[in-house]
Structure 1
């Protein structure tokens, strides 16, 4: 994390370097979502063994890594004081979204495993689309939350980075 500059209300100013790991994690997760969308678009053709293995490994690595990084970044930026009111609701929603993505990812690992019976293509398609839509929405919400909760604490570079990340997540 960057050298902390004290700003509004004794809180440190949020600089671009404070957000780089979170935005990079969003980009990695977005690439995984794109790969899963390609699989969904190809159904009823199921992924081959090598592709299914790669996707299981990515789901098993990218999601927990992203979740841990996201928790650390948000705690460093907004965890100094217990959030209250609107910010508490925002942080709770982010946590709920994170948990949903992790559970859906675990379900996809099981569905893509050669150790369990494969679900029908309609079910797999639903699972895939639910996962990547939930993850994309969660990433967009996190960017909006940081822009909102960071408010005047965001440097211009940090705000620009979060707006660019939001635009990338929303396809704008």
Structure 2
């Protein structure tokens, strides 16, 4: 009887996913969908200016913004890194670092936005035109970050995407383009 020394051993094929399926993208695309929905709400808020948002609206929106943007920047970036980073791949390094920088900018933008929407005692509220400028800058940058991230996934995952995962990703990109 011949003994196979490798039977039952778990040897990782690679440090990253070999094949990327739909289920691997659901988490990232869901997070992107939440961020896009928040951007739409912020755009509606900007469109309603010069009428400033009410305290109840601000009290509901600010924690949701902080939670979604900060949590996603922390959690989804490590997931994206694990899925796409390749040893010695300068393109992956550059694209993922750019995604990280855009996410960091979103976190800083949320902090500015929350400070503007909920000024501390003794601080004055921003004028409607300044608030509109801040809102539009934030949601435009956040939307671009979503687009860039999805395109980076498409570029880096390449042939490792299953046909279904590729279709799911392309549908998400197309929906954002017309949305």
TM-score of the aligned structures, taking structure 2 as reference length: 0.86
Q: Distance in 1 between matches of 2:87 and 2:111?
A: 30
Q: Which has the larger radius of gyration?
A: 2
- SS of the residue 2:52 aligns to: coil
Q: Name the CA shift for 1:76/1:85 in 2 (closer, same or farther; >3 Å).
A: closer
Q: Residues 13-48 of structure 1: CA distance to partner in whole angstroms, max 9, x if unpaired? A: 001101101100011111110110001001100000
SS of 1:59's partner is helix
- Which segments of structure 1 move beyond 3 Å, counting only runs of 4 or more? none
Residue 114 of structure 1, CA deviation: 4.4
Distance (Å, rounded) in 1 between the aligned partners of 2:109 and 2:116 = 10
**TM-aligned CA distance change 1:14 to 1:62, over 3 Å:** same
Q: 1:83 to 1:77 in 2, by over 3 A?
A: farther
Q: Which runs of 5+ in 2 are unaligned?
A: 1-11
Distance in 2 of aligned mates of 1:127 and 1:15: 38
Counterpart of 2:103 (choices 94, 98, 121) is 98
* Greater percentage in helix: 1
Structure 1 partner of 2:9: none
Question: Is 2:71 the partner of 1:65?
Answer: yes
2:47 matches 1:53 = no
The number of residue pairs the alignment matches comes to 166
Hey, what's the Cα distance between the residues in 2 that align with 1:169 and 1:28? 12
Task: Calculate the aligned-residue CA RMSD, in Å.
Answer: 2.1
CA contact (8 A) 2:81 2:96 kept: no
Q: Does 1:111 align with 2:129?
A: no
Q: Which residue of structure 1 lines up, in the alignment, with residue 92 of structure 2?
A: 87
Structure 2 counterparts to residues 1-172 of structure 1, below 5 A: 11-79=17-85, 81-82=86-87, 84-115=89-120, 116-171=123-178
* Structure 2: distance between partners of 1:111 and 1:11: 42
